[in-house]
């Protein structure tokens, strides 16, 4: 197995683990998983690092909130350990601020507008069909990060 296959394999198992935690597999959960992984990579931080905190802004409604479980599953910053804080957005946006407690670096990741719009349209058409939701989830999983997110490092 080459290293690219290994990376894909690891992403697939991470997504399955997150879906088990969350209760179902959908594209917003995968957005959370990918955001979490990218944020930690940019900060050069491991999951469960004591110094990682995240602040998430999104509308408090499904499917936006599905993203929270993807983020919690990979970063281990959770409501329970108070390393995750949530700001309610009044418009359809999803953004996460990753903060290493030492204050050296911050990463802001925002889901691109066109991605949110496309997903909402497709989910509405799917009318709760599980197979379509899972197909959309794997579509998001396979998309490159620059197509999905705007990333800012401070
Ligand atoms: Zn969900």
**pLDDT tens, residue by residue, 16-53:** 999 999 999 999 999 999 999 999 999 888 766 668 99
The tens digit of pLDDT for each residue in 49-78 reads: 668 999 999 999 999 999 999 999 999 999
What 3-state DSSP class applies to 64? coil
Going along the chain from its start, the domains and CATH numbers come out as 3-153 (3.30.1330.130)
Ligand 1 centroid from CA 17, angstroms: 13
Q: What is the pLDDT of residue 1?
A: 67
The answer to whether residues 27 and 136 touch, using CB atoms and an 8 Å cutoff, is yes
Ligand 1 centroid from CA 43, angstroms: 27
- CA–CA separation, 34 and 40 (whole Å): 10
Ligand 1 centroid from CA 92, angstroms: 16
Ligand 1 centroid from CA 25, angstroms: 7
Q: What is the pLDDT of residue 49?
A: 63
Ligand 1 centroid from CA 49, angstroms: 25
Residues within 5 Å of ion ligand 1, judged at the Cβ atom: 26, 66
- CA–CA separation, 34 and 145 (whole Å): 8
Q: Is the pLDDT of residue 102 over 70?
A: no
Ligand 1 centroid from CA 24, angstroms: 6
Ligand 1 centroid from CA 109, angstroms: 20
Can you spell out the DSSP letters for 72-110?
HHHH---TTTT-EEEEE-SSS--EEEEEETT-S-EEEEE
Ligand 1 centroid from CA 102, angstroms: 33
| Residue 126: how many other CB atoms lie within 10 Å | 15
Q: Average pLDDT of the chain?
A: 93
| Residue 43: how many other CB atoms lie within 10 Å | 20
The answer to whether residues 150 and 109 touch, using CB atoms and an 8 Å cutoff, is yes
Say if pTM beats, i.e. exceeds, 0.75: yes
């Amino acid at each position: 197995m080459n290293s690219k296959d290994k990376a894909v394999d690891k992403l697939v198992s991470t997504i399955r683990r997150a879906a088990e935690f969350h209760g179902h597999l959908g594209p917003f959960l995968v957005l959370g998983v990918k955001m979490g992984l990218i944020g930690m990579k940019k900060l050069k931080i491991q999951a469960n690092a004591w110094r990682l905190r995240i602040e998430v802004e999104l509308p408090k409604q499904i499917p936006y909130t599905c993203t929270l479980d993807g983020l919690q599953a990979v970063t281990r910053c959770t409501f329970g350990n108070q390393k995750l804080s949530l700001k309610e957005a009044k418009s359809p946006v999803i953004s996460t601020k990753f903060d290493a407690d030492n204050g050296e670096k911050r990463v802001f990741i925002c889901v691109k507008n066109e991605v949110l719009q496309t997903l909402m349209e497709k989910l509405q058409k799917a009318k709760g069909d599980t197979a379509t939701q899972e197909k959309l989830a794997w579509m998001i999983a396979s998309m490159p990060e620059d197509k999905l997110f705007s990333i800012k490092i401070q």
